[in-house]
Amino acid sequence: MSEMFSKVAILGVGLIGSSMAHAMRRGGLAGHIAGYARRAETLERARAVGFADSLHGDASACVKDAELVVLATPVGTFASLAEEIAPFLKQGAILTDVGSVKGAVIRDVGPFVPEGVHFIPAHPIAGTEQSGPEAGFPELFDGRWCILTPPPGANSEAVEKLKSFWQALGSQVEVMEARRHDLVLAITSHVPHLIAYNIVGTADDLETVTENEVIKFSAGGFRDFTRIAASDPTMWRDVFLNNRDAVLEILGRFEEDLSILKRAIRWSDGEALFKFFTRTRAIRRGIIDAGQDTAAPNFGRTPKKDQ
């Protein structure tokens, strides 16, 4: 692969930002990778890992001459960051982000984008439960989807270029409206995270079952929830504050469905339970067939003789 941008500025060098830098290096996609972090300690940690050509504590210095600028801090910081860098953005540059919500990003960042700069929001559907500059790795986006949500009237050449860029990082790319993105992600990501956080919290609160018991016997199913509930709290706070309507809508449906299951349990309606539990297997099959998860039992955590 070959250079797509002479300089890329990544504002925020956590899991996603550092993984982008690693993947850009793997593909030789950028002449110069500039990283920004607000805190000196984070800059130091990023320097130790060594995925950037330059590191900056000043966002406007970081974006100078960049042909691609990526907002990769928590979504709640985007408005002030956009306002700060706006006067320093290069004419013709693409400004993008990696936030997990898109409507709020267009609302917050849009007003600060200068004439002649192409603002194309994006969301790579990839991540792990870990965070920070040490958490990144080049393969994070391989085979995962990245959703672009260009605002109406966005420059189509810029959209195509960003699309090629994400493909070069390893992703498959889909383009959709921000509003639809936020609804789809509410069900595939935001509500599952909220539920996981919630059930781990419930377990932690029980005065009748000890934490030691919860930990010991977690292999019964609970441990999978704790992985999700170990994700970055700042990022997830901002997701829920910024996708409120879609999350509350999906949660409402979730609770209606749960009432039906509860009623079936209370009334010992085995047939209703069996029917419900049978229906959900097909979705799992689809996810494996689509290459979005491993078919190995327990995600391959248990060693098998033939491995």
Residues 57-76 that bind its own copies (CB under 8 A): 76
Whole-angstrom Cα distance, residue 47 to residue 49? 5
- Judged by CB under 8 A, the chain residues 251 through 270 that form the site for its own copies are 251, 253-255, 257-258, 261-262, 264-266, 268, 270
- Judged by CB under 8 A, the chain residues 6 through 35 that form the site for its own copies are none
Q: Does 185 bind its own copies (CB under 8 A)?
A: yes
CB of 192 to its own copies, least distance (A): 4
CB of 306 to its own copies, least distance (A): 8
CB of 151 to its own copies, least distance (A): 21
Q: Does 241 bind its own copies (CB under 8 A)?
A: yes
CB of 297 to its own copies, least distance (A): 3
Helix (H) or strand (E) holding 36: strand 30-36
Tell me whether residue 119 or residue 141 sits nearer to its own copies (CB atom): 141
Q: Does 236 bind its own copies (CB under 8 A)?
A: yes
- Write down the residue that tokens 């979005």 correspond to: 292
Contact in structure between 30 and 24 (CB atoms under 8 Å):
yes
Q: Does 193 bind its own copies (CB under 8 A)?
A: yes
Whole-angstrom Cα distance, residue 34 to residue 60? 11
Ranges of H-type helices in the chain: 15-27, 40-49, 59-63, 78-85, 103-109, 156-168, 178-185, 191-205, 211-216, 222-228, 233-242, 244-266, 270-279, 281-289
The one among 132, 145, 151, 175 contacting its own copies by CB under 8 A = 145
Site size toward its own copies, by CB under 8 A: 113
The one among 65, 83, 160, 204 contacting its own copies by CB under 8 A = 204
The one among 80, 156, 164, 198 contacting its own copies by CB under 8 A = 198
Q: Does 287 bind its own copies (CB under 8 A)?
A: yes
DSSP 302: S
CA-based nearest residue to 111, from 139, 144, 86: 86
Tell me whether residue 6 or residue 275 sits nearer to its own copies (CB atom): 275
- Judged by CB under 8 A, the chain residues 98 through 137 that form the site for its own copies are 100, 125-130, 135, 137
- Print the SS3 string covering 66-119: CCEEEECCCHHHHHHHHHHHHHHCCCCCEEEECCCCCHHHHHHHHHHCCCCCEE
The one among 57, 92, 157, 299 contacting its own copies by CB under 8 A = 299
Q: Does 211 bind its own copies (CB under 8 A)?
A: yes
Q: Does 222 bind its own copies (CB under 8 A)?
A: yes
Q: What is the greatest pairwise CA distance in the chain?
A: 67
Whole-angstrom Cα distance, residue 95 to residue 63? 10
